Every structure is written in C-alpha cells, then in structure tokens.
Amino acid sequence: MDRANHSLPPGSTVDRCYGKFRVLVADDQQGIVDLVELTVERMLGARVVSYPDGDRVLAALEQEAFDVFVTDMIMPGTQGFELLRHVRERAPEMDIIVMTGYPDSFPYVEVIQAGADDFIVKPFPTSALAAKLIRLFKERELRHRQRVAETKYKSLFELAVDGMLCLAKSEYLITDANRAFHEITGFAVDRLRGRAVMDLVEASERERFRQWLAFCDTTGRGMIADVTLVGANGKPIAADISATVTDAGDARIIFVAIKDVTEKRERDRLLAQAAERDELTGLGNRRAFNIRMGSAIAKAREQGSPVALMLIDLDNFKRVNDTLGHPAGDAVLHVAGDTIRGSVRTSMGDEGFRFGGDEFAVLLPGADRARCARVAERLRTEFGSRERHGTSMSIGVAEYVAPESVEELTGRADQALYKAKTAGKDNIALA
C-alpha cells in the first residue's frame, strides 16, 4: 500500500506531543507498515522504524532502544510467540502491541500471556491504533515520572544528614532506613527492615512514643523531643524526632527524621551543672541550694518525710587570708569542700553547697536532726584531721518543721550556727 494514498480520518487532529517516543514496527506487508507509520508519525508525532522480518527486529534491539513494538505474528524469520519471547528478553521495559489477521490462531489471552501489552485485529482504523499507542505512551510517561520521583526521594533519603526511617502504619514496622540512621545507631539497614521501631526506643519511653506516633497518624505530622533511643551497642542516644505521614496507594507510610542531640544534651547538662557549681570547691552554689531546698521542702510537705539542714562557718578563716595569703585560704576552702563531699551520702540525696566566702551548707533529705548532728560531728572531726592552717568548723543544725518556708528553716539553722560560734567555735549547736 502506498503511504501517499492514505489521509487522516475526517475530524482527526495531529497531536505532536509524543515526539520523544520511538516505535519499532515489524510486518512484511508494506501497506500495513504504511498505515502504522501514518498513525505514529502524522497523528502522534512519534518516530518510527520498521522492518519486514523478525530477525532484523532482534538485531535492531541489540543496537537501539524503543518505547513500543508493533508487530505482526506471521512474517519471515523469527516470528509469532518465539519472536515475542526473544523481544521480551532483549527489551523487558518495551511495550508490545500485537496486530494479526488471524485472531483464532493467536488468541488474545495467549498473546497477552506471551508478553504483549495490547492486541489489535487487522484490518483496523488508524484511530484504534492511535488510541492504543496514546494509552501506552501515557503509561510510560507516568512510569517515568514515578521512577524520577523515586530516584529523587531515594537520593534525598540516603543523603539526608539526619537519620531517616520509613515505617509501615501496621505495627510501625521499619521498611527502610538511610545511611545516617546507621551511623547514629550502629544498626545495619538490612537488619532493621521488618523490625518494630518500638524496639529501638528505651523501654520507659515506648508508651509516650507510641502515643505520639498515633497523634501523627491522625494529624499527618508532628515533632517530639528528648526521646532516648538504644543503639546497637546498648548506648543511649538522645534524639529529637519529627514525622510526616503520607498515603502511598492503599498503604499509609510514616517518614521519620531523627536528629542525634546526644552531644548537645550533654553540653547543656554540663553548662547547667557549671551554672550551679562553685568552681573552687566543686560544691553546689547558692542558686543550686535554693533549688534543692525548695524541692526538698515541697517533698517533705507532701510526704511528711524529714529534712535536715546544717550551716557551716570556718572559724579563723579571715586570719589565714590576712597572714598566709589568698592561695592558702583557697587551699583551706578546697579542703572544706572535699571534706563535705566525703562526709555526706549522695546515694541518699545528701548534698553540700558553698554560699560564698567561708560559708557552707549541707542538705540531708530524709534525715532528722539526730542524724544530721551525727553527720556534722563526722564532718567536724574529719576537717580537724586535715591541713587547715588553724581553722575549724562551727556548725548549726536544724530540722524542718511544717509548714515553715525555706527562709524560716535556713534562719533557724543560722541561729544555731551563731550559738555554736559564740560557744567558743569548733562546735555543733542544734536548733
């Protein structure tokens, strides 16, 4: 058939938006080839290459790539189902349309099972073939866009600085993890897939984390701070975590971003500790004393438990500074701090403080006045055995009496300290 004798059907339009697609045609009837080329080139604007036999088709596939293969089933050389099999092996991503004038010999179901994507019976109108090609072109474009999107997602996922997880909605199982998550936790990615994310959360925080994930599933996104994860080596990891929920077909996926803030939390802790520590003695400062006292008294009021306080003053300290100099005075203060730390039981919540100058305090939660007096005596005796340049300790002891305030308890301990000093120094007085 002469291609020049073909014209577009009445009312048809030329659609040139498919120019990037390449179509391979195989048929030994020139009239059919002309009809297909007319459809592909003039109606759709795509490019076409045609061959009259299957062997040349297979050779072409070794050299070039095509988007769609339109083929007859009977022709010279390799043909029929054997041709479909070889084409599928060489070009698994290429779409195939089978055209035949013998539908009884090549049934539709068998042709599709052999690897074809569509089927058309000769003779056919150009519009029918054009419709099938347009469908395949659009599906290829959609698949291309999906691959591009998946590639971009995978790149962003893998190259993200923060750890990333993909969770399946059901049981919050991990479906994927990126390199950064491996670096943060030490877990190999292939050993994480299929594992419940709850397994990576410190046991005491799992319920809070589960409730947060349920909240994110309802709202679509969320953030949570100070979650403790457990790394592959069992080491705790402080993390700030955000989540975004998206629908992927019938599935619901949760993307989780994990920022490792372990070092930041430790720096914050050390800064907070430094803000509450006396640099010379290592004891808590006045700010820390006020915080701990307030907490201890609040607990005593709520639970009815005892709290005892001792205030300490170093006798003759000014004389050390005046006669031996400030370095000697600092040495005495250091000894006092060391003595206090060694005489209290931190496991029971006891804590020592330096108010400034030569004034100290010791807070003993859960201790009554009698125990506080024993600790004070041990402290005074220990200090007396150290190099202290003629200084000694005067100590005032008071036990909390409800409902007095921090100031009132501190005031009574201060009065007891005054009594100890006026009694000749190096003494202990009880309020």
pLDDT for 152 equals 66
Interstrand relation of 163-168 and 173-177 (parallel, antiparallel or unpaired): antiparallel
Q: In angstroms, rounded to a whole number, what is the distance separating the alpha carbons of residues 23 and 70?
A: 7
Residue reference for tokens 């307030």: 294
Strand, helix or coil at 412?
helix
Token readout for 58 is 């297979």
Collect contacts of 258-264 with beta carbons under 8 A, ≥24 apart.
258/162, 258/163, 258/164, 258/165, 258/181, 258/184, 258/229, 259/162, 259/163, 260/162, 260/163, 260/184, 262/236, 262/237, 262/238, 264/238
Interstrand relation of 221-230 and 307-315 (parallel, antiparallel or unpaired): unpaired
Residue 203 per-residue DSSP state: G
pLDDT for 1 equals 35
Helix (H) or strand (E) holding 431: none
Token readout for 234 is 């069992």
Architecture of domain 3-147: 3-Layer(aba) Sandwich (3.40)
pLDDT for 79 equals 94
pLDDT for 8 equals 44
**Residue 367 buriedness (CB in 10 A; 0-12 / 13-18 / 19+):** buried
Residues facing 26 on adjacent strands: 51, 71
Q: In angstroms, rounded to a whole number, what is the distance separating the alpha carbons of residues 264 and 352?
A: 28
Domain with CATH 3.30.70.270 in the chain: 276-430
CB 133 within 8 A of CB 39: yes
CB 416 within 8 A of CB 372: no
Residue reference for tokens 């006092």: 336
CATH placement of domain 276-430: 3.30.70.270
Domain with CATH 3.30.450.20 in the chain: 160-264
Q: What is the pTM of this model?
A: 0.48
Q: How many CB atoms lie within 10 A of CB 14?
A: 10
Q: Which residues of 406-423 are buried (b: 16+ CB within 10 A; e: fewer)?
A: beebbebbbebbebbbee
Domain with CATH 3.40.50.2300 in the chain: 3-147
CB 50 within 8 A of CB 33: yes
**Going residue by residue through the chain (431 aa), what tens digit of pLDDT does each one get?**
334 334 444 444 444 578 899 999 999 999 999 999 989 988 898 999 999 999 999 999 999 999 999 999 999 999 999 999 999 999 999 999 999 999 999 999 999 999 999 999 999 999 999 999 999 999 988 888 877 766 666 666 777 778 889 998 778 999 999 888 998 999 998 889 899 999 999 999 999 999 999 999 889 999 999 899 999 999 999 999 999 998 866 678 898 999 999 888 888 888 777 788 898 998 999 989 999 999 999 999 999 899 999 999 999 999 999 999 999 999 999 999 999 998 888 878 899 999 888 999 999 999 998 999 999 999 999 999 999 999 999 999 999 999 999 999 999 999 999 999 999 889 999 99
CATH placement of domain 160-264: 3.30.450.20
Point out the residues that are catalytic.
358
Pick from 381, 418, 382, 424: which is nearest to 397 by CA?
A: 418
Q: Which residues of 288-299 are buried (b: 16+ CB within 10 A; e: fewer)?
A: bbbebbeebbee
Q: In angstroms, rounded to a whole number, what is the distance separating the alpha carbons of residues 312 and 346?
A: 18
pLDDT for 49 equals 95
